[in-house]
Amino acid sequence: LIAAIGVGVCSSVIPYICDQLAMARLPRASFALMLSLLPLTATLIGVVVLRQVPVVTDCLGVALVIAGVAMHKPAANT
């Protein structure tokens, strides 16, 4: 039971608190960029740490995220 509580706290409560702290301190665009790169980061961690081999759809999803981030143009300041 204690291990389950520890897993719950480490996998949901701590990341949620970190997200809220980052959202309060970072500009909206920076925070949105970080959130959009989460699938890429998760895939890379899976490959390196867990030795998972991504399937074609995983790679396509990561490529679409990277393309979306690369094509983003910030709004002009007027």
- Same domain for 41 and 68, yes or no, is yes
Amino acid identity at 17: I
Domain span at 12? 1-26
Judge whether residue 36 has pLDDT over 70: yes
In a domain, 2, yes or no: yes
- Same domain for 22 and 41, yes or no, is no
Tokens standing for residue 74: 């910030």
Q: What is the pTM of this model?
A: 0.62
Q: How many domains does the chain have?
A: 2
- Same domain for 19 and 43, yes or no, is no
In a domain, 32, yes or no: no
Position 48 scores a pLDDT of 95
- Same domain for 20 and 42, yes or no, is no
Question: Please, are residues 65 and 37 in contact by the beta-carbon 8 Å criterion?
Answer: yes
- Same domain for 45 and 78, yes or no, is yes
Position 56 scores a pLDDT of 95
Per residue in 41-75, pLDDT (tens digit) is: 888 999 999 999 999 998 998 899 888 888 877 66
